[in-house]
Amino acid sequence: MAGPAHVPVLLDRVVSLLAPALDRADRDRTVLVDCTLGLGGHTEAVLSRIDRAHVVGIDRDPQALELATSRLAPYGERFTGVHAVYDEIAEVLEELGLPHVDGVLFDLGVSSMQLDVRERGFAYAEDAPLDMRMDGSQGITAAEVLNTYDAGDLTRILREYGEEKFARKIAAAVVRERAKEPFTTSARLVELLYAEIPAPARRTGGHPAKRTFQALRMEVNDELAVLRRALPAAVDAIGVGGRVVVESYHSLEDRMVKQAFTAATRSDVPEDLPFVPEGHEPALRLVTRGSEKATPEEIEENPRAASVRLRAVERVREGGVAA
């Protein structure tokens, strides 16, 4: 099995956003929580460029965690790998005796390793078992979703998570075909999608299986619910001067991040009050203006950067309630 490729998205920009929080002259040691460690590309860049930074790397995928830990071994005690889901930030930090940290990073979606290793079943380019679990030791597989969900639930998933215009048509076809034989591998699903998505629609918007595979992956791993819990936990985890940086690749994820950051940076005084009383200023401020996107040059070099949306906030005072 060939080793997976790994090209971190917006690497330099992410490090530059984290640097003011991690490279502070008043600290001998700063801590970043990389909530989506993957193969450790962002973490390696932070450790190599910011000498006082330590990283707690969280990943729900044991295989990715093992590979990243091996890759980051030269940094010794500056890196700590933790097998957990990233909505468990508070529990992880409590176990490590860290009341707060200086930075939290999320690089959402599927990792390079999961896409590139055929056996994981995330990619539609090759025939593979329909698994898609980020932690293969627990939870339902994509095959189980296809073979057991009713047409209404399949339609909802494809429409909400995949933004698939032909969700109802595809769901009906899945229910019809699974009655003949259960779905087990990706090739049969891809074949069905080619048959059900009209030819004009197949010619635009990338591979016709892309949206359905994305929807199944998000359902299998409960990604939106995990993110909904993780964002306020991340905001609560940073101390004054700390930053939360999020890279998202799906409109629902980015909307959730935008709403959480807007709520966290809003003052708690009534909008019609002509001034903000001392002590009632927002506890956090937006670092990015809206969401930042990859440049055409980066997209050409790394096609996975095409849909990225990058947002960041910084804690400017104690207090505040994450929504």
Show binding-site residues for S-adenosyl-L-methionine.
Answer: 40-42, 59, 86, 107, 114
C-alpha to C-alpha distance for 59 and 68, rounded to whole angstroms = 10
Q: What angle do CA 17, 234, 78 make, to 5 degrees?
A: 65
Question: What sign does the CA torsion over 190, 191, 193, 197 have?
Answer: positive
Strand ranges of the sheet holding 30-34, from the earlier edge strand across to the other edge: 79-83, 53-59, 30-34, 101-107, 238-248, 309-315, 284-286
Q: Binding-site residues, please?
A: 40-42, 59, 86, 107, 114
